[in-house]
Structure 1
Amino acid sequence: MNRGFLWLLFWCNLLGTVYGYIWYDDQLLFTLQNYPAALLVFVPDSPTASLFFTLSLLFLLYPPSGRSLKNAGYVIQGLAVVTSIKYGVWAVSMIVAGWSFGGDMIWQDFMLIASHLAMAVEALLYVRFFGFRMVSLIVAGGWTLLNDVMDYTFGIYPYLPYELHNYVSEVRTFTFTLTILSFIAGWIALKKAKRL
């Protein structure tokens, strides 16, 4: 909770978020050209998760005093935990699965593995400092499930390694399962922090 370290984490996450949205540039453009614009919010999964975590760090650095802003911060913190765990693990799993089916190992994959593992780990480490409770966690779980539904109903899920294109139904099942497990991880963290 050292402020200097929180600021370091903030800038690392902010830069990672910006990079993540740039990474999704082609898919965002494709979605905008081929789907209703309202679906754009469901496309960039990992950078939106890191955005939630970045904003959560701001709430730690500058705790709000007003009730409405505090409640909004709690929802963002819940979203940060559920989505960072989920998409951190999901991205690593998809990269490794692509390799296991014969995909090439490229340097960007190792960078993505490191950054996405960091997303999941930092969410698990910082959940105890966040102030959200069960209602915020339920909202976060509901939003993440809605995102899954939109991804696999409209085909706007993150681009998969070529080797996994024949396994979209298995990826979908894994994705929904991971959302539920990420929600449970958040629930366990709340229980340990005695905030249930």
Structure 2
Amino acid sequence: MDLFSQSWSALRAAVGGLREEDFARPSGCTGWLVRDLVCHLVIDAQDVLITLATPADGEPTRDAVTYWEVSDTPPRGDDPLDALTVRLAAAYEDPGLLMFHLDDVGSAAGRAALLADPALRVGTRGEILTVADYLSAYVMEWTLHHLDLIAYLPDPEQPPAEGLARSREVLERIAGAAFPASFSDADALLVGTGRRSPTETERSELGDLAATLPLRLG
């Protein structure tokens, strides 16, 4: 839960450091500008608040690793929900309003996470998780989107090292194999999730794992 707070705080701080012109830059998410990604983070924060306020009965059906589903479909940026996010982001017009909304809702999500009982079971997407596993899964969400946010920014501030390491560990468990030690945690995440293509050297180092990539998480 501490890692959730650390990763989320770092991501929000990175958004807070954006200049107005940065919102019109592309992000690491296919088809999205930085402003679209920031709008998505507002929705993510709302999802955290909703889930933490949705207690569930029954045994957990997912954990921090099985929370993630791997899709065979490459993102194109024209999914109906993605398209709605783009329209919502454009409706803000002033990036300052978007940043204010993220700070407002994001702060509340951060506080709710700190106050939540880790053993409580909550429901989301038709599944049941403990709060601890749900928030652990979101470390990956925040870390990947931090990398998306800074993909085309000059002199970007990287995500926390602990969040990168944990996210790599989770991705390796999803893949059922470890990435080569020569890969940095960030490179393992970027290549592993298809955010960039591996170089010829990296592909050679990946060996049989290369055939299973990318892992498109949803």
State the TM-score, normalized to the length of structure 1: 0.35
The one of the two structures with greater contact order (alpha-carbon pairs below 8 A, sep at least 6) is 2
Of Structure 1 and Structure 2, the greater strand share is in 2
State the TM-score, normalized to the length of structure 2: 0.32
